[in-house]
Amino acid sequence: MLHNIKGIDHTLIGVADLEAARSAFENLGFTLTPRGSHIGWGTANYCIMFDEDYIELLGIVDPSLETNGLDVALEERGQGLLGVALASDEPEATHRSLMEAGLEPSGILSLERKLELPEGDVLPAFQLIRLTSSAGLSAKNLFICHHLTPELVRRPEWLTHANGAKFIKSVVVVVDNPGALAPYYQRLCGSINVTLTDNTMTVRFGRGSLIFVNERDIDLLFPGLTIMDEMPPLPHLIAMTIAVDNLEGTETLLKNNGIGPQRIANGTVRVDPEEACGLLLEFTAA
C-alpha cells in the first residue's frame, strides 16, 4: 500500500444550517451521530458513519469564532462538498514516505473535537497531513486523516442506515485538465490505481475513487444533469456516490420519504441537490 494510504477516510459537506442538514440527511435514510464541535472554533458537525469511512456535515454555530474558511466557502460557492480526507493508520510512516517521494506534505497536525454523547462529552482526536495543490485541490480540501480514538466515533448503532448505505463509492471533482494531475496521483498511490480515459481520470483508494473530469465532459458521467446554470470556480467538488446493499429498497425509501429520486440509465439512483444540501448525490449497488 503506497504511502500507507488505505482508502477514503471521510468527505466533508458544508451546510448553511446544520440542524436543517441533519433533518435532510435523516430524511434521505441516513443515521447520524450526535453533534460534535471543533474546540476553539465556531463550527460543529454531524457524521454519517460506515464501517471504514464516513460523511461529515459541517456548519457554523458561532460566527464570532474561527470557521476555518467555511463562512467564505458558503458565501462564495454555496452548500455542497468541501473536501476529501484519505485514510492512514501510520501517519509518521506516511509523512516520511511522502517526503521521500517529493510530494511536499504539510507537517503532522493535531485536531480534537467534542462529541456530545448522552452520557457526557468525549474528545475524539485525529492527526492530519495536508496535501499540496498539485493534487488538483487545495491543501485545505484534500488531506490524510489518522484516528487516534476510533472507538469514540464509530459505534455499532451508528453504522446501520435505513437506506442501506455501506460506503463511499466515489467523489467527482471538476477541474480544468484532469490529465495534468496524473503524474501526482501516480506518485501518490501508484500507476496501477490511476486510469486516464480521454478527459476523465479515476484514482482508486481502496474501494473508493476520486474521479476528475473537465466541465465539458460532465454529462458523460451524469447523463441529463441540469443542476446549475454556471459552474463555480474550479476545482469544484460536485458529486458523491454511495454504495448500498439494495438499490430498489433505497429507491423505495426515498419515495416514501417524499423525495423524488431519478433512476439513471447507468444503474444509479440520483437525488436532486436541493434535497442534499447542494450535493449531487447518487446511490449505486454495492
Task: Say yes or no: 170 and 280 in one domain.
Answer: yes
Instruction: Tell me the residue length of the chain.
Output: 286
Task: Say yes or no: 124 and 231 in one domain.
Answer: no
Task: Say yes or no: 249 and 227 in one domain.
Answer: yes
Cell numbers linked to 93? 510512516
Task: Say yes or no: 8 and 111 in one domain.
Answer: yes
Domain boundary among 104, 134, 158: 158
Task: Say yes or no: 135 and 170 in one domain.
Answer: no
Q: What is the pLDDT along the chain (286 residues), one digit of tens a residue?
A: 689 999 999 999 999 999 999 999 999 999 999 999 998 899 999 999 999 999 999 999 999 999 999 999 999 999 999 999 999 999 999 999 999 999 999 999 999 999 999 999 999 999 999 998 889 998 889 999 999 999 999 999 999 999 999 999 999 999 999 999 999 999 999 999 999 998 899 999 999 999 999 988 888 888 777 655 577 889 999 999 999 999 999 999 999 999 999 999 888 999 999 999 999 999 999 9
- pLDDT for residue 259: 96
Task: Say yes or no: 126 and 7 in one domain.
Answer: yes
Instruction: Using DSSP, state whether 62 is helix, strand or coil.
Output: coil
Task: Say yes or no: 151 and 35 in one domain.
Answer: yes
Task: Say yes or no: 37 and 111 in one domain.
Answer: yes
Domain boundary among 125, 158, 191: 158
Number of domains in the chain: 2
- Beta carbons within 8 Å of 35's beta carbon, 6+ residues apart: 18, 44, 45, 46, 115, 116
| C-alpha pair distances (Å), 139 with each of 87, 106, 149 | 15, 8, 24
- Beta carbons within 8 Å of 19's beta carbon, 6+ residues apart: none
- pLDDT for residue 108: 97
Task: Say yes or no: 220 and 175 in one domain.
Answer: yes
| CATH classification at residue 186 | 3.10.180.10
Domain boundary among 107, 126, 158: 158
Condensed to tens digits (0 to 9), the pLDDT of residues 257-277 reads: 999 999 998 889 999 999 999
Range of the domain at 205: 165-285
Task: Say yes or no: 73 and 211 in one domain.
Answer: no
Distance of CA 101 to the CA centre of its chain: 26
Q: DSSP character for 22? A: H
- pLDDT for residue 229: 59
Condensed to tens digits (0 to 9), the pLDDT of residues 143-178 reads: 999 999 999 999 999 999 999 999 999 999 999 999
Task: Say yes or no: 210 and 280 in one domain.
Answer: yes
DSSP string, 112-160: EEEEEETTEEE--EEEEEEPPGGGSS-TTTEEEEEES-HHHH--GGGS-
H-only helix segments in the chain: 18-27, 70-77, 91-100, 150-153, 182-189, 218-221, 247-256
Rounded distance between C-alpha atoms, residue 164 and residue 249, angstroms: 8
